[in-house]
Structure 1
Amino acid sequence: MTPAVYKRPQSVLVVICTRGGEFLMLRRTHPGQFWQSVTGSLAPGESPRSAALREVWEETGLRVGSALIDLKHSVLFPIVRAWRARYAPNVCFNREYWFALVLETRRMIRLNPLEHLEYRWLSAERAARLTGSWTNRNAIRALAAC
């Protein structure tokens, strides 16, 4: 019998925006009306920075290297009940580490069709209203205020 492999209850959120104030939002394949910035769980032994770089590449096709900004902020939030089975028994919270990527202008995005259906570049307020994640909303508004 193969032992269960659970997700690590740590993830990254990478808010991508342009110097002109446009924010990249991605629409997930499931649930289909859920919009978000780049996100993803840390693999075993992976640092938050490495996970952020990997997720940006996997979800957008952008290689960013040293341009990635560690916002030195994290949030602990309850895992949605529908997704809790992905985690070890009795794991109810996830730690999310925030990063930013500020681009000079919009870039063409190469979506992973297994994860996302479309993308949009939006104003900070429209992006914040569109996302279904309160942590994503707060990160967008915090970055827009800088």
Structure 2
Amino acid sequence: MPHKQPVSILLIIHTPELDVLLLERNDFTDAWQSVTGSREGEEPLIETAQRELAEETGLRVELAQIKDWHECHDFEIFEIWRHRYAPGVTTNTEHVFSVCLPLACEVELAAKEHRRFKWVNWQQAAEMVFSPSNAEALRQLPERVAH
């Protein structure tokens, strides 16, 4: 299996009322997050967001529905996941996107990655996620949606 690129997306899925979809990781309990994933090849990052949404939730949207926040963060890759990257890679650059769905809905989880999902309001979501960059993006959601 090739190494993952240290370039990824964070995709916040929300409703007009700012209820947010969170996924619980399989590899450790109570690790809630938005959709995330690494770029494959040279695909544009918005296509990474579209692909990861479909892979992790079964939801399919048009590229035009995905909002690029034009924001990115560098963070240290958790030790437990470093084996997925080339030797010596310790930092990842995460690009933030969002997509608004008309209603909270059932999703079809990627069983190898996630064990359950829930829809919660954006404030609760910001408290639940384990990633500081995910929490910060969720706190920005009301302002980002307003523009």
TM over 0.5: yes
Distance 2:56 2:142 in 1: 22
Q: Which has the larger radius of gyration?
A: 1
Give the drift of 1:32.
2.5
Alpha-carbon distance, 1:88 to partner: 1.2
Which structure 1 segments of 5+ residues have no match?
A: none
Identify the residue that residue 44 of structure 1 maps to in structure 2: 41
Q: In the TM superposition, what are the counterparts of 1:55-70 in structure 2 within 5 Å?
A: 55-65=52-62, 66-70=64-68
Write out the 4+ residue segments of structure 1 that deviate beyond 4 Å after TM superposition: none
Counterpart in the other structure of 1:102: 100
Aligned length: 143
Distance in 1, matches of 2:53 and 2:118, equals 15
State how far apart, in whole Å, the 1-side matches of 2:130 and 2:25 are.
Answer: 11
Distance 1:129 1:28 in 2: 16
Q: State the shift of 1:86 in Å.
A: 1.4
Question: Any gaps of 5 or more consecutive residues in structure 2?
Answer: none
Give the TM-score of the pair, scaled to structure 1.
Answer: 0.93
Distance across 2 between alignment mates of 1:115 and 1:80: 16
Within 1, Cα distance between the matches of 2:121 and 2:92?
28
- Taking only the aligned residue pairs, the percentage that are identical comes to 36
